[in-house]
Structure 1
């Protein structure tokens, strides 16, 4: 499915309005509304964690995160080697953007063991208009949530990328 084929609902419109309203031009930093956007996404998708990461200098850094109450496996500012991250596996194509049930992949050693439960995992690159990867927009749940919508995540990642890209208008 292409982005143009995607039929946005009220959540997508709200997310778009939040990100577009943040400024009239692109900013190299994440807009202040991103945590609000992450909370909306996490809640609507029925996930436990949603975050934006930046990949640079061999590291994956969690830039913004929203977690379900009582479960905080990652936090803003957390950094780890990019090669140990699911984010890089998705960017490289070693893992798909949507994994309905990640447990078998972890058990078989096909995905890094994060040390906490992952059922459904969604991740998509935040790709700047010039093709450069800023990082990823990810969310996951502790249980299987096969109905989680990767298209909504891609749509939001594209909006975030536009806000980060020099020379674009909001």
Structure 2
């Protein structure tokens, strides 16, 4: 039984396509560099009419941009760049200080408390990427330079669904990496030893 149908929710063609891309068995290599994730990010950004979309990872108090897709004239963030996590919208979404869906950042009552950005942020969608052990990997975020009053809860659902499926790919890749490491170890006389 499909739990989405139990709640009266029926995925649209876009959501089905995203699911197919992200659930497909990933090729070898980094789960976030695989062919499906950049394609999903681009399709999601275009569908939501946003200027920038990215997957970030939280590492040692920083937010690292792992995958980024932008409109042609919106290259304001590059893959591999990082910034202090506490000075990010991402951290505020994760800890509940900022909603996941914002139509107009400047209209928020707390807009003056938000970190300054070197580019305008109008509409903003963000959701955590949560791994199967409960740890937060980072976030899946997108924003437009101008406000967007047409965004709906269903758009946020699409972002959340993509974040869950992105987390699954990361979990699957980490499991394969762990299996490869374990395959190189053997137990001899009670102490693990690396196979030569």
Above 0.5 in TM-score? yes
Which position in structure 2 is the counterpart of 1:40?
43
Which position in structure 1 is the counterpart of 2:137?
134
Determine which of 150, 164, 168 is the counterpart of 1:158. Answer: 164
Bigger relative contact order (CA 8 A; separation at least 6): 1
- How far apart, CA to CA, are the structure 1 residues paired with 2:44 and 2:111? 30
Which position in structure 1 is the counterpart of 2:119?
116
User: Where does structure 2 lack aligned partners over 5 or more consecutive residues?
Assistant: 177-196
Stretch of structure 1 that moved more, 82-91 or 96-105:
96-105
TM-score when scaled to structure 2?
0.76
Report the CA distance between 1:16 and its aligned residue: 1.3
Q: Give me the CA root mean square deviation.
A: 2.3
Q: Could you list the per-position Cα deviations for residues 86-132 of structure 1 after superposition, in whole angstroms to 9, with x for gaps in the alignment?
A: 11111111101011100234984221121211110000000112211
Aligned ranges 1:64-75 → 2 under 5 Å: 64-75=67-78
TM-score when scaled to structure 1?
0.87
Aligned length: 165
Larger radius of gyration: 2
User: Where does structure 1 lack aligned partners over 5 or more consecutive residues?
Assistant: none
Q: Is 1:103 the counterpart of 2:109 in the alignment? A: no
- How far apart, CA to CA, are the structure 1 residues paired with 2:50 and 2:122? 10
Stretch of structure 1 that moved more, 51-60 or 107-116:
107-116
